[in-house]
Amino acid sequence: MISSDAMRGYNDVLILAILHQGDSYGYKIGKEIRERTAGQYIIRETTLYAAFNRLSKNGYIEAYPGAVTNGKPRTYYRITTSGQTFLAVKAAEWRRVKTVVDLFLNQPLTDL
Protein backbone atom coordinates (compact mmCIF):
# COMPACT_ATOMS: atom_id res chain seq x y z
CA MET A 1 0.00 0.00 0.00
CA ILE A 2 1.18 3.51 -0.81
CA SER A 3 1.37 5.87 2.16
CA SER A 4 -0.70 9.01 2.26
CA ASP A 5 2.55 10.97 2.78
CA ALA A 6 3.84 9.78 -0.60
CA MET A 7 0.60 10.80 -2.30
CA ARG A 8 0.00 14.08 -0.47
CA GLY A 9 0.99 16.35 -3.35
CA TYR A 10 -1.00 14.37 -5.90
CA ASN A 11 -4.46 14.08 -4.34
CA ASP A 12 -5.72 17.19 -6.11
CA VAL A 13 -4.45 15.89 -9.45
CA LEU A 14 -6.11 12.49 -8.96
CA ILE A 15 -9.43 14.14 -8.12
CA LEU A 16 -9.23 16.55 -11.05
CA ALA A 17 -8.33 13.72 -13.43
CA ILE A 18 -11.45 11.82 -12.35
CA LEU A 19 -13.64 14.91 -12.65
CA HIS A 20 -12.16 15.61 -16.08
CA GLN A 21 -13.95 12.43 -17.16
CA GLY A 22 -17.27 13.60 -15.73
CA ASP A 23 -19.03 15.00 -12.67
CA SER A 24 -19.00 12.84 -9.57
CA TYR A 25 -19.46 12.81 -5.79
CA GLY A 26 -17.14 12.13 -2.86
CA TYR A 27 -17.77 8.47 -2.16
CA LYS A 28 -17.58 7.54 -5.83
CA ILE A 29 -14.33 9.48 -6.31
CA GLY A 30 -12.74 7.75 -3.31
CA LYS A 31 -13.90 4.39 -4.64
CA GLU A 32 -12.52 5.19 -8.11
CA ILE A 33 -9.11 6.02 -6.64
CA ARG A 34 -9.09 2.75 -4.67
CA GLU A 35 -10.17 0.69 -7.69
CA ARG A 36 -7.79 2.29 -10.22
CA THR A 37 -4.87 1.71 -7.87
CA ALA A 38 -5.99 -1.86 -7.16
CA GLY A 39 -6.20 -0.95 -3.48
CA GLN A 40 -2.63 0.35 -3.34
CA TYR A 41 -3.91 3.80 -2.36
CA ILE A 42 -6.99 4.41 -0.27
CA ILE A 43 -7.71 8.10 0.21
CA ARG A 44 -9.15 8.92 3.60
CA GLU A 45 -12.49 10.71 3.71
CA THR A 46 -11.01 13.65 5.63
CA THR A 47 -8.24 13.99 3.03
CA LEU A 48 -10.76 13.81 0.19
CA TYR A 49 -13.04 16.51 1.61
CA ALA A 50 -10.11 18.75 2.52
CA ALA A 51 -9.03 18.47 -1.12
CA PHE A 52 -12.56 19.35 -2.30
CA ASN A 53 -12.49 22.48 -0.12
CA ARG A 54 -9.04 23.48 -1.38
CA LEU A 55 -9.93 22.85 -5.03
CA SER A 56 -13.19 24.75 -4.66
CA LYS A 57 -11.47 27.68 -2.92
CA ASN A 58 -8.95 27.84 -5.78
CA GLY A 59 -11.74 27.83 -8.36
CA TYR A 60 -10.75 24.44 -9.84
CA ILE A 61 -14.01 22.68 -9.03
CA GLU A 62 -17.63 23.61 -8.39
CA ALA A 63 -20.04 21.82 -6.08
CA TYR A 64 -23.74 21.41 -6.74
CA PRO A 65 -26.57 19.42 -5.15
CA GLY A 66 -27.50 16.12 -6.73
CA ALA A 67 -29.96 13.35 -5.99
CA VAL A 68 -31.31 12.94 -2.47
CA THR A 69 -30.00 9.83 -0.70
CA ASN A 70 -30.94 8.92 2.85
CA GLY A 71 -32.91 12.16 3.09
CA LYS A 72 -29.89 14.31 2.28
CA PRO A 73 -28.87 15.77 -1.11
CA ARG A 74 -25.64 14.27 -2.42
CA THR A 75 -23.03 16.89 -3.34
CA TYR A 76 -21.60 16.54 -6.82
CA TYR A 77 -18.45 18.17 -8.15
CA ARG A 78 -17.45 19.33 -11.60
CA ILE A 79 -14.12 20.57 -12.90
CA THR A 80 -13.99 24.20 -14.05
CA THR A 81 -12.06 25.65 -16.97
CA SER A 82 -9.42 26.83 -14.48
CA GLY A 83 -9.30 23.31 -13.07
CA GLN A 84 -8.73 21.84 -16.52
CA THR A 85 -5.86 24.27 -17.09
CA PHE A 86 -4.36 23.45 -13.68
CA LEU A 87 -4.68 19.72 -14.40
CA ALA A 88 -2.87 20.10 -17.74
CA VAL A 89 -0.03 22.05 -16.06
CA LYS A 90 0.29 19.46 -13.27
CA ALA A 91 0.23 16.56 -15.77
CA ALA A 92 3.10 18.14 -17.74
CA GLU A 93 4.97 18.81 -14.49
CA TRP A 94 4.50 15.18 -13.42
CA ARG A 95 5.98 13.92 -16.70
CA ARG A 96 9.05 16.10 -16.16
CA VAL A 97 9.44 15.01 -12.51
CA LYS A 98 9.06 11.34 -13.46
CA THR A 99 11.71 11.70 -16.17
CA VAL A 100 14.17 13.23 -13.70
CA VAL A 101 13.54 10.64 -10.97
CA ASP A 102 13.79 7.80 -13.51
CA LEU A 103 17.29 9.02 -14.40
CA PHE A 104 18.34 8.01 -10.90
CA LEU A 105 16.18 5.00 -10.18
CA ASN A 106 16.41 3.19 -13.52
CA GLN A 107 20.01 2.24 -12.87
CA PRO A 108 21.04 -0.67 -10.65
CA LEU A 109 21.02 0.16 -6.96
CA THR A 110 23.54 -2.37 -5.72
CA ASP A 111 23.80 -1.04 -2.18
CA LEU A 112 20.15 -1.73 -1.34
Length of the chain: 112
Residue 71 confidence (pLDDT) above 60 = yes
Report helix, strand or coil for 31.
helix
Report, as an integer, the average pLDDT of 66-80: 90
CB distance 48 to 34 below 8 Å: no
Q: How far apart are CA 38 and CA 5, in angstroms?
A: 18
- Identify the residue with better confidence: 80 or 104: 80
Q: How far apart are CA 85 and CA 56, in angstroms?
A: 14
Domain assignment present for residue 110? The answer is no
Domain assignment present for residue 37? The answer is yes
pLDDT of residue 112: 55
pLDDT of residue 68: 83
How many domains does the chain contain in total? 1
Domain CATH code at residue 89: 1.10.10.10
CB distance 79 to 20 below 8 Å: yes
pLDDT of residue 59: 98
CB atoms within 10 A of CB 70: 5
Domain assignment present for residue 76? The answer is yes
Q: How far apart are CA 98 and CA 6, in angstroms?
A: 14
pTM of the model: 0.88
